[in-house]
Amino acid sequence: TATLRWTITNGTCVTTDDVVLTNYATPTPSVAGPAQVHCAIDLFTMAANAPTVGTGLWTVVSGTATITDATNPATTVTVLAGNTATLAWTITNGTCPASSSTVVLTNYAAPTPITPAPDQEHCADPLFTMAATPASVGTGVWTIVSGTATIATTNSPTTTVTVLAGNTATLRWTITNGTCVLTDDVVLTNNVNILAAAGPDQNNCANPAFTLAANTPATGSGLWTVVSGTATITDDTNPTSAVTVPTGSTATLRWTITNGTCVTTDDVVLTNYDVPTPSVAGPAQAHCNDALFTMAANTPTVGTGLWTVVSGTATITLATSPTTTVNVPAGNTATLAWTITNGTCPPSQTTIVLTNSQNVIAAAGPDQNNCANPAFTLAGNNPGAGTGLWTVVSGTATITTANSETSAVTVPTGSTATLRWTITDGLCSTTDDVVLTNYATPTPSVAGPAQSQCANDLFTMAANAPTVGTGLWTVVSGTATITDATSPTTTVTVLAGNTATLAWTISNGTCPASSSTVVLTNYAAPTPITPAPDQEHCNVALFTMAATPASVGTGVWTIVSGTATIATTNSPTTTVTVLAGNTATLRWTITNGTCVLTDDVVLTNNVNILAAAGPDQNNCANPAFTLAANTPA
């Protein structure tokens, strides 16, 4: 920079003026420094270059920021969390072009604080549901830190995660917002569920020493405990421990396998049976046709007794009762055993013989009916080991062979006899009766002649009275009401307008019935006739009738007297021709079976005779005239 003075002199007058001439140097190139990223730290320290030529100045290009000392290349700048600001560092020197560069300051908001999620432990359940803190600021992601697991949705704080049984996995929930990172680790453990197997139940006989046979857990630990009864376990963690159970006692032991949260149990029953009470079945028994035997065995003090059939046929009511009843069918012998057992100890057994002599139940066979045939063949049952005998209880009969169950027997026609079949076997005896009936042939039926009535409902029958058998009226067809169906002369009601066929059947036991029929007809009364008026015409031959129509029955016109021509004889309103000079009497008859109604009508057609008064007459002063009219025929 130079300062020059301009001096003007005029004589003694001198004036001056100075001018400054400055030649600025090019300003130092601006270097604003590297971009800066903070996590929830508002205060940034700038790192711009200090100008050797010119002066520097910080300005906010975009965003929001507070500059502490705008001319200080290392000033502090405040950018609030969650904001980004761009600042410019500009170095100027006089009129030289300024040098400027920018720097971006980013202050990320702190992610959502993470509440530590609890570790989880399952038992043979591979599906875990996570419970991480959701990322309201930033984004969250699950990652596997250790172990093996399958994450369903890595960005979901509540995703499901699969960890197979027998595995442990550590998962990390990371929430990131820019340079802000928060993490939380969760340990997922899925224990293997090892099924406890206590081994089969064991039975000893008077031997207290047992050896257990449970499974050995691959992981976890096992423990024996006594659930019930009395037992002494030598080593409660040994799956094959020795155990002592007193004679006559039963103990239930439980084998429990624990693996983390997995616990399984299985029980085993150890029974040390005592020697059973010696068996006494009781004395042999014999019955006659009495199937029910009552046993008299001893009651065991140790063990339980059981009746079984050794041979023969028998039904035991209560096999465990020493005094049970036993059913042995007649004619059978059965050997029964009374066996006292107690667990695995050798049983004690004795036998008893039950004999029930056969009492054959007599069966005389079905009752028999013949028709006029005196010969019967009996059908009794075979007496087996016993003997049979036919006797006459009532009536008249001749037995051919009294000891034969199928003997021939004669019973007179019209008689009934009761025979008894007796089967005897020692003191056992049974009987059964059979009735033999030899019916006589019934009297032939005569139902009587057919009957017809007019509007009279009550008919009186005229059948024959049977001397052998009984008669019965039945309606074969039509509608009828029989007063006394067994009376040959009963009254029968058949309503007017109906026909009924009745059968008179005479029957006697198994003989073929004799039957004949009679037809009863009760005609409905014809339509009541309203008398028609007589008719008289003058030289008009055509008359129109006006009789009562036949609503029941049929009507017909007939000529009673005179000469007439009837157009339609069955029409109540027919036309009838009667020539002039004639009179005819016609009859309208309505007939329905035996019912007849009539009405007569007289038709007169007079001749029209022309009157002739004679010629006109003229007299002169003579008052007397003589008429000359024609005389009517």
User: Three-state SS across 191-228?
Assistant: ECCCCCCCCCCEEEECCCEEECCCCCCCCCEEEEEEEE
Mode of pairing for the β-strands spanning 180-191 and 167-177: antiparallel
Q: What is the pLDDT of residues 103-154, one digit of tens each?
A: 999 999 988 788 899 999 999 999 999 999 999 888 999 999 999 999 999 9
- What is the mean predicted confidence (pLDDT) over 482-494? 97
Share of the chain above pLDDT 90, in %: 83
Contact by Cβ (8 Å): 286, 218 = no
Which CATH class name applies to 120-191? Answer: mainly beta
Please state which architecture CATH assigns to domain 529-633. Answer: Sandwich (2.60)
Ramachandran region of residue 539, left (φ > 0), alpha (ψ -120 to 50) or beta? Answer: left
Say how many CA atoms lie within 13 Å of 313 toward its Cβ.
7
In the structure, what pLDDT confidence band is assigned to residue 288 with cuts at 50, 70 and 90? confident
Domain ranges of the chain: 1-109, 120-191, 202-273, 285-357, 368-439, 451-523, 529-633
pTM exceeds cut of 0.75: no
Token pair in block for residue 552 = 């029941």
Both tokens assigned to 4:
């020059």
Domain 368-439 has CATH 2.60.40.10: yes
Return the closest-CA partner of residue 307 out of 289, 320, 326, 325. 320
Question: Which stretches of 263-328 are DSSP H helices?
Answer: none
CATH code at 1-109:
2.60.40.10
CATH class of 202-273: mainly beta
* CA–CA gap between residue 364 and residue 430 (Å, rounded): 11
Q: Return all residues near 333 (Cβ < 8 A) that are at least 6 apart.
A: 312, 353, 354, 355, 356
Using DSSP's 3-state secondary structure scheme, residue 92 falls into strand
Q: What is the tens place of the pLDDT at every residue in 384-422?
A: 878 999 999 999 999 999 999 999 999 999 999 999 999
CATH code: domain 285-357 is: 2.60.40.10
Of 179, 175, 185, nearest in space to 139 by CA: 175
Domains 120-191 and 529-633 share a fold: yes
CATH 3.20.20.10 fits 451-523, yes or no: no
Q: Is the pLDDT of residue 361 over 80?
A: yes
587 pLDDT band (50/70/90 cuts)? very high
**Cβ neighbours around 403 below 10 Å, total:** 11
Cβ neighbours of residue 624 closer than 8 Å, sequence gap 6 or more = none
Edge to edge, the sheet with strand 514-523 lists: 451-454, 514-523, 498-507, 470-477
**Structural contact between residues 79 and 44, judged by C-beta atoms closer than 8 angstroms:** yes
Residue in the block written with tokens 């009186």: 460
Contact of 155 with 141, CB cutoff 8 Å: yes
Confidence bin at 426 (pLDDT 50/70/90): low
Per-residue pLDDT at 310: 97
C-alpha–C-alpha distance, residues 74 and 43, integer Å: 12
Residue type, 481: T
Give the chain's length. Answer: 633
